[in-house]
């Protein structure tokens, strides 16, 4: 019998409670990997788009042209583009109502902060699931192991002579639950830490851009007001 079939037999021969624990851990692992693949693609794309937009912005491009390019983009905007667009649109709207310069700057800053928070919330979505899987899966697997070991020793009560051969299969089946718990938890913890770090870096990037854009905007509006 090969190792693969032995592992399958350990699962099939386990008690219903232990099998239920294994099924829960398997589902948690599958969902975790799906979220990991999605978040990896999303965060990498957000980082690349933020870098490209910053390069375009600091190249001296006209703000109106930049806004029009974003508004007429074939693909949906996200990340830093939305943060910029939120501030630009608010400035345009407030200036049409002939608001004071300080009020315009404050409103644009507030709109950019709200847009940035929305973008970060979108990027952080489902990360709490990875944290939950990473922190609870080992304990869920341990519960299955403890239950399986209890069942194995309980079966010795009716035996006239207890031997290691009688409890070894049950203990082996139970330990599979612990292994599956670790298998589900380790990738989830690693991914959560990595993705949280990437989100934090993007948050700093969005904040820095917002502050720099608002500073530029304030200088331009004050110079126009004093002209």
Per the structure, the complete domain to which residue 68 belongs is given by 3-226
What domain count does the chain have?
1
In this prediction the pTM is 0.81
CA torsion 89→91→97→102, rounded to 10°? 160
Provide the 3-class DSSP secondary structure of residue 10. helix
Nearest C-alpha neighbor of 6 from the set 184, 145, 176:
176
For 95-145, what is each residue's pLDDT tens digit? 776 677 788 888 888 999 999 999 999 999 999 999 999 999 999 999 888
73: left (phi over 0), alpha (psi -120 to 50) or beta: beta
Here the tokens at position 106 are: 């404050």
HSE at residue 170, side-chain half, CA atoms within 13 A, is: 19
Is the pLDDT at 24 greater than 70? The verdict is yes
- Tell me, rounded to whole angstroms, the distance of Cα 184 from its chain centroid: 16
CA distance 135 to 144: 16
Number of other residues whose CB lies within 10 A of the CB of residue 220 = 13
The H-or-E segment that residue 133 falls in is: helix 127-155
Give the pLDDT band of residue 86 (cuts 50, 70, 90).
confident
Residue in the block written with tokens 């139970």: 174
- Burial string for 98-116 (b: 16+ CB within 10 Å, else e) reads eeebeebbbbbbebbbebb
Please answer whether residues 210 and 79 qualify as being in contact, where contact means their C-beta atoms are separated by less than 8 angstroms.
no
Give the mean pLDDT of 62-91: 77
């Amino acid at each position: 019998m090969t190792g693969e079939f032995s592992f399958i037999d350990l699962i099939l021969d386990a008690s219903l409670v232990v099998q239920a624990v294994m099924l829960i851990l398997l589902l948690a692992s599958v969902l975790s990997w799906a979220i990991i693949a999605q978040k990896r693609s999303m965060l990498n794309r957000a980082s690349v788009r933020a870098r490209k937009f910053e390069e375009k912005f600091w190249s001296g491009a006209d703000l109106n042209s930049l806004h029009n390019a974003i508004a007429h983009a074939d693909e949906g905007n996200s990340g830093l583009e939305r943060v910029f667009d939120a501030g630009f649109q608010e400035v345009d709207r407030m200036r049409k109502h002939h608001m004071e310069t300080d009020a315009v700057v404050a409103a644009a800053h507030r709109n950019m902060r709200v847009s940035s928070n929305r973008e970060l919330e979108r990027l952080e979505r489902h990360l709490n699931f990875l944290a939950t899987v990473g922190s609870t899966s080992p304990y869920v697997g341990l519960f299955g192991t403890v239950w399986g070991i209890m069942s194995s020793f309980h079966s010795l009560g009716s035996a006239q002579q207890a031997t290691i051969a009688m409890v070894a299969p049950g203990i082996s089946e139970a330990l599979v639950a612990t292994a599956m718990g670790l298998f589900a938890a380790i990738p989830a913890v690693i991914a959560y830490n990595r993705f949280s770090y990437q989100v934090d870096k993007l948050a700093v990037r969005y904040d820095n851009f917002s502050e720099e854009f608002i500073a530029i905007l304030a200088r331009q509006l004050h110079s126009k007001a004093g002209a």
